């Protein structure tokens, strides 16, 4: 994730497998929900390929249970803030209600992605995506004729597919939003392109790096400790400053 055209670039790195999966889901859902009208084979194949990737991720582990547990955990954390002097109790109560509603909706929803797996058109396209050039009209005649249907009809079908993902998207958006706001950014200095610290049972590292240096972080670690090595985009001629100021949040 990056702040395009700004003075800094924002990088995020998961510190456990759960967060790794959630960030991948967010990445895929953002692409799906921001899709243009599927009016030609190029953007249609991009949409269906993203959809197939999402289904592959959803088939790994019990994502719904993990999210419901996290929503419940966040509700309990917010409960501790109610009644504390200086805390906006109405805001805390509203957040708890929102998390509870998301958890209830997610729990009541059908198996995540099941309606998409059962859709014949999605299934036909998904089967061919692993074949180089497998999206040709002779490979996918069903997609070829679908792209010649009236645009409103196609839009309605795509909207229907996305609606089945709404409970997942809503829950994930709220979880990642509160996680990202759980740790403030702090000014740090990397020496000779290296930095390490304790993670304090964190889930996510967030780094803001000045874009002028054209550097990116290579992160290793887990929920208790991590190390960051800064590398130049130009591996042959790039220079990593001896002292690199950057901002870091452990969430």
CATH number of the domain that residue 236 is part of: 2.60.440.10
Tokens of 64: 């719904």
The whole domain housing 100 covers: 35-181
For 151-163, how does the pLDDT look when each residue is reduced to its tens digit (9 = 90+)? 999 999 999 999 9
Residue 93 and residue 188 in one domain: no
Lowest mean pLDDT across 10-14, 38-42, 144-148: 38-42
pTM as predicted: 0.91
Identify the residue whose tokens are 């020496």.
Answer: 191
Which band of pLDDT confidence, cut at 50, 70 and 90, is reported for residue 1? very low
Lowest mean pLDDT across 1-5, 41-45, 46-50, 200-204: 1-5
For 80-107, how does the pLDDT look when each residue is reduced to its tens digit (9 = 90+)? 877 777 777 788 888 889 999 999 999 9
CA distance 116 to 162: 9
User: Does a structural domain hold residue 213?
Assistant: yes
Pick the last residue of a domain from 140, 161, 181: 181
Residue 169 and residue 45 in one domain: yes
Whether 15 and 224 have beta carbons less than 8 Å apart is answered as no
Residue 57 and residue 154 in one domain: yes
Cβ neighbors of 41 (< 8 A, separation 6 or more) are 135, 137, 143, 144, 147
Residue 152 and residue 193 in one domain: no
Average the pLDDT over 115-120 and give the result.
95
CA distances from 44 to 36, 40, 83, 138, 189 (A): 9, 6, 51, 16, 45
CA dihedral 42, 46, 51, 53 (to 10 degrees): 140
Please give the residue that has the higher pLDDT: either 130 or 164.
164
Which band of pLDDT confidence, cut at 50, 70 and 90, is reported for residue 113? very high
Q: What is the pLDDT of residue 5?
A: 52
Q: What are phi and psi of 11, to 5 degrees?
A: -115, 145
Q: What are phi and psi of 210, to 5 degrees?
A: -60, 130
For 46-65, how does the pLDDT look when each residue is reduced to its tens digit (9 = 90+)? 999 999 999 999 998 789 99
Pick the last residue of a domain from 158, 181, 204: 181
Please name which of 47, 53, 15 lies closest in space to residue 34, comparing C-alpha atoms: 47
Separation of CA 68 from chain center: 17
For residue 222, give the 3-state DSSP assignment: coil
Identify the residue whose tokens are 């992160």.
Answer: 219
Pick the last residue of a domain from 150, 181, 212: 181
Whether 56 and 25 have beta carbons less than 8 Å apart is answered as no
Residue 175 and residue 233 in one domain: no
For 190-212, how does the pLDDT look when each residue is reduced to its tens digit (9 = 90+)? 999 999 999 877 899 999 999 99
DSSP structure string for 42-99: HHHHHHHHHHHHHHHHHTSS-HHHHHHHHHHHHHHHHHTTTT-TTS-HHHHHHHHHHH
User: Does a structural domain hold residue 224?
Assistant: yes
Whether 3 shows a pLDDT value over 70: the answer reads no
């Amino acid at each position: 994730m990056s702040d395009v055209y700004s003075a800094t670039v924002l990088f995020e790195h998961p510190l456990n497998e759960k967060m790794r999966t959630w960030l991948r889901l967010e990445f895929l859902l953002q692409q799906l929900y921001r899709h243009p009208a599927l009016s030609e084979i190029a953007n249609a194949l991009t949409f269906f390929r993203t959809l197939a990737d999402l289904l592959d991720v959803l088939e790994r582990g019990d994502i719904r249970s993990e999210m419901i547990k996290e929503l419940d955990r966040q509700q309990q954390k917010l409960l501790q803030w109610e009644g504390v002097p200086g805390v906006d109790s109405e805001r805390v109560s509203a957040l708890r209600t929102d998390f509870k509603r998301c958890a209830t909706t997610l729990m009541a929803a059908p198996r995540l992605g099941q309606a998409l797996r059962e859709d014949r058109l999605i299934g036909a396209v998904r089967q061919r995506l692993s074949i180089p050039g497998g999206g040709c009209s002779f490979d996918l005649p069903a997609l070829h004729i679908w792209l010649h249907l009236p645009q409103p009809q196609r839009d309605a079908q795509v909207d229907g597919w996305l609606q089945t993902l709404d409970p997942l998207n809503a829950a994930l958006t709220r979880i990642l939003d509160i996680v990202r706001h759980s740790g403030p950014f702090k000014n740090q200095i990397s020496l000779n392109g290296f930095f390490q610290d304790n993670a304090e049972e964190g889930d996510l590292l967030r780094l803001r790096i000045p874009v002028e240096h054209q550097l990116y972080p290579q992160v290793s670690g887990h929920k208790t400790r991590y190390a960051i090595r800064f590398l130049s985009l130009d591996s042959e001629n790039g220079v990593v400053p001896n002292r690199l100021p950057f901002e870091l949040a452990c969430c």
